[in-house]
Homo-oligomer: A and B are copies of this chain.
Amino acid sequence: MESLMLRINRNRLLETIKVSSSIGATKNGGLNRLALTKEDQAMRNKYVTWLRQEDLQVRYDDFGNIYGRREGKIHDGPAVAVGSHLDTQPCGGRFDGVLGVLTALEVIRVLNEHNIETDYPIEIINFTNEEGARFEPPMLGSGGLTESLAKEFIYNIKDDDNVSFEKALIDSGYLGREKNRIKNIKNFIELHIEQGPILDNQNKSIGIVQGIQGMSWLNVSVTGETNHAGPTPMSNRRDALVPSSKMITKVNELTKEMEGLKTTIGKLHVKPNVTNVIPGEVEFMIDIRHEDDEIRSYAIERLKEQLSTIALMNNVEVTITTDWHSDAVRFSSTVTEAINEAAQKWGYSSLKLFSGPGHDAKYMTRLANSGMIFLPSIHGISHNEQELTLDDDIEKGANTLLYVIQKLANTV
């Protein structure tokens, strides 16, 4: 067990991150490294050099996902896979995704310099277009690899300049073969910044991610009657906005009744949206999330009842449709327990929590028992040049990852 407590090389890791922070750097200390752009290509080239320096077997698959394989004692055995993404948002931070790839590389470097051979192979992965900022939707590399998204669909997605994913991939030089996709996986682990304030608020260093919340997007359309504000008496109105405002309050209040439920109304349109015209129509989207799919379903049923009642009492019509939903994911207890054990052994403060946003690990649960380590984002800020994870937390996260990888890559 002794090697499990090996320390990563803090300075080397921070230097590596610094190099990444210089490729696609923005004026305000962030990164602009959209998937398969010149900046992303430069980062990939640098990354592949690093992989080769560690004698890893490098290959890319037909989605441009880059793998670096370190063989184990059990030759051709199932690999412990670990990784995240090097692409960023247009005004993104230096840590989102990047930490997951570069801490994995640091783990390999430590194992190499100590000549530690694991039972199972280790593969570190950089997934293509996780952000979805250039090619929508997000998580195309992991989505394609796990066959959650069809290859043809992914290849035909166009960016704002009408360039297809396929063309961008070919031009980047990172189009590999389908047979290079990783298949035989024992576990998948992803280290990532939290992109939320919970760890920072509670002053914890290691987030033991239990899963990813399920979510639904409900489209709510409220129809009353458009009329002139001046002459129409209050008692004659069928204003669509007044009951909508009551609905918004109700949707918010439901979270006080149901532990862990999150509701957000972020998008709303008023028609015709003229100061002196009583709104005849209001349309808004409810984003509703919970780690437990049954509770989310129950909450949606409750909301539908409550919104219908408000509509009825205000003499307007309401229609509620589900635009999109994504079920919750539970991570493997094998992985979460290994993370917990690592944090305990190291004496790092930790917290069990759920992820709000999706991650590559979400798709990877389809191929293997998976899990995630979260590190604190100061003030919960992410997708922003101000995004910050402290050096101490990065070091703790990398030590935790080193422990977990060794634990999972060795037979007990």
Q: A228-B382, A234-B263, A269-B273 are in contact. List 18 more A-B contacts (CB 8 A).
A: A194-B231, A196-B228, A215-B230, A230-B262, A230-B289, A231-B380, A233-B262, A234-B255, A234-B256, A242-B249, A242-B265, A245-B249, A266-B272, A266-B275, A267-B270, A267-B275, A268-B273, A275-B285
Question: Do A196 and B231 contact each other (CB < 8 Å), given the known contacts A267-B270, A275-B285?
Answer: yes
A380:B195 contact, CB within 8 angstroms: no
A239 at the interface (CB under 8 A from B): yes
8 inter-chain pairs at a CB distance below 8 angstroms, sorted by A residue, are A196-B228, A196-B232, A217-B276, A234-B262, A242-B249, A264-B277, A267-B273, A268-B268
Residue of B nearest to A229 (CB): B264
Cβ-closest 4 pairs across A and B: A196-B231, A230-B356, A231-B356, A245-B248
Q: Complex: how many Å from CA A127 to CA B217?
A: 52
Q: Which of A215, A229, A232, A255 has the most CB of B within 10 A?
A: A229
Contacts of A264 in B (CB 8 A): 229, 239, 275-278
B241 touches A248 (CB 8 A): yes
Return the CB mask of A188-201 against B: 1 if under 8 Å, else 0: 00000011111001
In angstroms, Cα B201 to Cα A150, docked, is 60
Residues of chain B with a CB closer than 8 A to A234's CB: 255-256, 261-263
In the complex the two chains form, what is the Cα distance from A213 to B357 in whole Å?
51
Q: What band does the interface of chain A fall in when counting residues whose beta carbon is under 8 Å from B?
A: 35 or more
Q: A162 within 8 Å of B by Cβ? A: no
User: A265 near B285 (CB under 8 angstroms)?
Assistant: no
A275 vs B263: C-alpha distance when bound (angstroms)? 11
Residue A274 CB within 8 A of the other chain: yes
Cβ of A117 under 8 Å from chain B: no
CB pair B232 A380 closer than 8 Å: yes
Rounded to whole angstroms, the CA-CA distance of A264 and B237 in the bound complex is 10
By beta carbon, the residue of chain B nearest A198 is B233
Q: Which residues of B contact A230 (CB under 8 A)?
A: 195-196, 213, 215, 262, 289, 355-357
Mark each residue of chain A from 82 to 99: 1 if its CB lies under 8 Å from any CB of chain B, else 0.
000000000000000000
Q: Does A227 contact B (CB under 8 A)?
A: yes
Which A353-412 residues have C-beta < 8 A from chain B?
Answer: 355-357, 380, 382-383
Residue of B nearest to A219 (CB): B275
Residues of B within 8 A of A11 (CB): none
**Which residues of chain B come closer than 8 Å to A355, judged between CB atoms?**
230-231
Task: State whether the Cβ of A306 lies closer than 8 Å to any Cβ in chain B.
Answer: no
Query: Which of A201, A265, A278, A357 is packed against the most chain B CB atoms within 10 Å?
Result: A265
A46 within 8 A of B: no
Q: From residue A246, how far is it (CB to closest CB) to chain B in Å?
A: 6
Bound CA span A241–B248, Å: 8
Is A61 on the interface with B (CB-CB < 8 A)? Answer: no
Please name the residue on chain B nearest to A286 by beta carbon: B275
* A277 (CB) vs chain B CBs: closest residue: B266
Instruction: Tell me, rounded to whole Å, the shortest Cβ–Cβ distance linking A200 to chain B.
Output: 10
Within the complex, the shortest CB–CB distance from A402 to chain B, in Å, comes to: 26
Complexed CA–CA distance, A143 and B287 (Å): 49
Asked if A252 is at the interface (CB within 8 A of a chain B CB), the reply is yes
